Amino acid sequence: MNVSSAVVRAFGLAKTHGQGQSRVHAVDEVDLEVPQGQTLAVMGPSGCGKSTLLHLLGGLERPTGGEVWVAGRRIDTLSERALARLRRQSVGFIFQAFHLVEELSAADNVELPALLAGRSRRQARRRASLLLERVGLADRARHLPSQLSGGQRQRIAIARALANEPLVVLADEPTGNLDTSATLDVLRIFEDLRAAGQTLVVVTHDERVAATADRLIAMRDGMFVDDTRLAGSHPRGLGGLIGLEG
Ligand SMILES: Nc1ncnc2c1ncn2[C@@H]1O[C@H](COP(=O)(O)OP(=O)(O)OP(=O)(O)O)[C@@H](O)[C@H]1O
Ligand SMILES: [Mg+2]
């Protein structure tokens, strides 16, 4: 693995909650390198620390031990303000429960992160419309989230996660609330992301989602218990979801 090309790195990464008897090692001194362009799936039983790991890697939570580096920069020691900027500029998050802004249209939800990352109104609009097209929802641009199905909402949330052209996308159970047909839509998009070289870490209970990744880490009790290459088991899609200009 080429360390210098790692987008995300963690050393001795740890997060403990609580004190004394009720102390929980949610993440227990893990080391990780995610090279540019790698798609990594993380699986493991409920409570083993997957969400905590993602939050630490994306700067949503701070570790109680170790270091996190994103794009060659140590992030766990940044100020809140610098951390927020890092998230806006470089990270895309996808959640199980979508977390769309209910008052904003699909297109405005997707535009927002591009604006926050410093794009002009025009660039943000253009990028949003390209992304909506790529997730197959150009015809839903003016709909509110409440007017969309769960699967459509998640595709909007994926488009939103890509709006700032993130160095890394972090997805937590992205298909956890979806039926099979909506899950297949998301799988196709993830295949495209992999083909397009998007660095991605996805936490999932769904083996079909894990199978779209290049690499699979199994987690248990805050630790990595297995780390497997999933070499090219899936044909590459046409790609093009990312790297869109403007
Ligand atoms: N704020 C908190 N305070 C105390 N303990 C916490 C807190 N957040 C998480 N934990 C504990 O840390 C451990 C890891 O939680 P985490 O949410 O990362 O698990 P997970 O693998 O994502 O589980 P799931 O698959 O159910 O989403 C759990 O034992 C949980 O109870
Ligand atoms: Mg979780």
Report pLDDT for 237: 40
Q: Is the CB of 24 under 6 A from ligand 1?
A: yes
Residue 215 neighbours by CB under 8 Å, 6+ apart: 38, 39, 40, 41, 227, 228, 229, 230
- Closest ligand 1 atom number to CA of residue 45: 25
What is the domain count for the chain? 1
Cα 112 versus chain centre, distance: 17
* Distance between Cα 46 and ligand 1 center (Å): 8
Which protein residue has the closest C-alpha to ligand 1 atom 4? 17
Q: Is the CB of 218 under 6 A from ligand 1?
A: no
Q: What is the CATH number of the domain that holds 207?
A: 3.40.50.300
Which protein residue has the closest C-alpha to ligand 1 atom 11? 26
pLDDT band at 7 (very low <50, low <70, confident <90, very high): very high
Interval 41-90: pLDDT, tens = 999 999 999 999 999 999 999 999 999 999 999 999 999 999 999 999 99
Q: Please check whether residue 152 is in contact with residue 135, taking contact to mean a CB–CB distance below 8 angstroms.
A: no
**Range of the structural domain that residue 34 is part of:** 3-243
pLDDT band at 232 (very low <50, low <70, confident <90, very high): low
Distance CA 41, CA 106 (A): 27
Whether pLDDT at 238 is above 70: no
Interval 165-188: pLDDT, tens = 999 999 999 999 999 999 999 999
* Distance between Cα 130 and ligand 2 center (Å): 31
